[in-house]
Amino acid sequence: MSAQAHHEPTAAPTCWCCGKAFPEHELTRLGAHPEVGVCLGCAIYLKRRATVQRDEHHPTPASRLRGGIDTARNAVIRRGWHERGPLAALLRRIDRFLP
């Protein structure tokens, strides 16, 4: 057994939300718990969930607009339109610019 065998790279770190493996530079670490990292997709998902919770507790005209957008987004996902060819690409592009 060579010395190299003792220093094999460890497995890629995983996202604590979705469980998928990512390179370290693609994970965002929590401040008080740096052992916890989430991927970009899950960070965006968590932000949206946090925004929904905030809007539920502090309703404003903007929060009602975001609620309407979320309702439309959920309807698209429920129907699977976000996974269908050219329409999917368009919907995902639009979603990048939505709150």
Which residues would be at the binding site for Zn ion (CB under 5 A)? Answer: 15, 17-18, 39, 42
Nearer to Zn ion, 42 or 76 (CB): 42
In whole angstroms, how close is the CB of 63 to Zn ion at the nearest point? Answer: 26
Nearer to Zn ion, 44 or 87 (CB): 44
In whole angstroms, how close is the CB of 59 to Zn ion at the nearest point? Answer: 30
Residues 15, 27 contacting (CB under 8 angstroms): yes
Structure tokens at 16: 């604590």
Burial of 97 (0-12, 13-18, 19+ CB in 10 A): exposed
